[in-house]
Chain A
Amino acid sequence: MKLRIFILLLAGMSLCSAPCRLPAQQEISGLQVQEEQVASAIDAAETARQNAAEAGAEWLQTNDLIRDAREAFGNGQWQLALSLAQQAERQGQLAVEQALRESVAWRERVVR
């Protein structure tokens, strides 16, 4: 009886594992397409951060986002890495816009 249960259990596991494994393989295949996209997004984020830093206007978390993106990329979490890199790039762009805007706008706030 115990042997039958064990055989049935093994059969069930093998039936289940086949469809479970298939999407994972497809995802891996899909991520291979995205690899360059993620690497490029991280490079773009770093460029945006450097532009903000040169303007003396870098935001607090931009560098951390890039670090986390790199870590996620290294761990194979490419969707997460892409999302973090895109957030960091946007922060860098907004910081530069802010610096450009404030190079004029600050004068309006001077107490006179």
Chain B
Amino acid sequence: MNMRNIIRLLSLGLCLSWPVYIFGSPEDDRIAFQAYFQARFPDVPISEYVNGIYALDENAREQWEQIEEFPPYEFAVENGELLFNRPFANGSTYSECFDNQGPGVRQLYPRFDAERGEVITLELAINLCREVNGESAYSYNSDELNSLSAYMAWTSRGNKIDVVIPNDPGALAAYESGKQFYYSKRGQLNFACSDCHVISAGLYVRADHLSASLGHPSHFPVYRSKFGKMISLHSRFYGCVRDVRAKPFEEQSVEYRNLEYFLTYMSNGLIVNGPGARK
């Protein structure tokens, strides 16, 4: 029996022996999560959290608002539109793979695919669409995929995030797995996602304020000035995990897709406002 199975069994055993009150439903979790930030920052309207750190840091917000006058992600949106509407070699298009023919479906992702028994993110759905139509999958940090994702986020702006967790053991397991990942300390620095983005939200980490997790998935992909290009949510996960000195998982790994499932569900009811611009 390998180490991962030992830990899973240990975790399961403890789950079965644990008091029932800790097992809130996903909806209980979401309500508590949003209430935590409302109580923590009573002057910040809940709708503001889609703006990430700019909901909490006034100085940074002023700079960001100026950047938004000439959004650096516009090129990605335009390129994404071209790619989305360009037929595949077999004549089909992306629109045939998405609800309502896309592209404004960002708010429905990630979703649980009962047949495949796994969480499907928008980026994975784009690549699955390509493969089903005889095209090769894009690399997950490619400009093409980030452009398509940016265009689909752009056309979803203003739509309320509506991630569904069906009453399916697989879906609930994926949600719980993402939740466990979010709250587990990892790496040599022994940090959990929640250590920075719940407990320490709004506080300084070196010269920057830490953002709140609420609303995090609403604005990806983002143009990072630091890198001079668009990056995905999973690329941000990768960076965070590396920053606490844990070996990062690959983008679109099961671990990150489940994490996105949990994290996006926490933001249900907020609006999509991607793509975004960040330092």
Contact = CB atoms under 8 A, between A and B. Distances in A.
Interface stretch (B3-11, B100-108, B267-275): B3-11
A2 interface: no
Interface string A74-112: 000000000000000001000010111011111101111
Contact of A59 (B11, B180, B187): B187
Interface string A35-64: 000000000000000011111111111110
Interface stretch (B29-37, B124-132, B137-145): B29-37
A109 B187 contact: no
B188 interface: yes
Nearest to A58: B247
B242 interface: yes
A98 B185 contact: yes
Contacts of A104: 10-11, 14
Interface residues of B, number: 35
A103 B14 contact: yes
A91 B11 CA distance: 22
Nearest to A107: B22
B245 A59 contact: yes
Nearest to A59: B188
B22 A100 contact: no
Interface residues of A, number: 28
B36 A55 contact: no
A18 B6 CA distance: 59
- SS class of chain A's interface: helix, strand, loop or mixed? helix
A53 B11 contact: no
B194 A109 contact: yes
A53 B246 CA distance: 10
Interface in B184-221: 184-188, 190, 192, 194, 198
Of A54, A98, A109, most B-chain CB atoms within 10 Å: A109
Contacts of B188: 59-61, 91
Contacts of B198: 109, 111
Given A105-B185, A106-B192, A110-B22, A60 B4 contact: no
A106 B190 CA distance: 12
Interface string B215-253: 000000000000000000000000000100111110000
Nearest to A49: B247
Contacts of A106: 180, 183-185, 192
A60 B183 contact: no
- Which 6 residue pairs across A and B have the least CB separation, nearest first? A54-B3, A106-B183, A58-B247, A103-B11, A55-B3, A60-B245
27 contacts: A51-B3, A52-B3, A54-B3, A54-B4, A56-B255, A57-B246, A59-B245, A60-B187, A60-B245, A60-B248, A61-B188, A62-B247, A91-B188, A99-B7, A100-B6, A102-B186, A103-B7, A103-B8, A104-B10, A106-B185, A107-B22, A107-B183, A109-B192, A109-B194, A111-B32, A111-B198, A112-B22
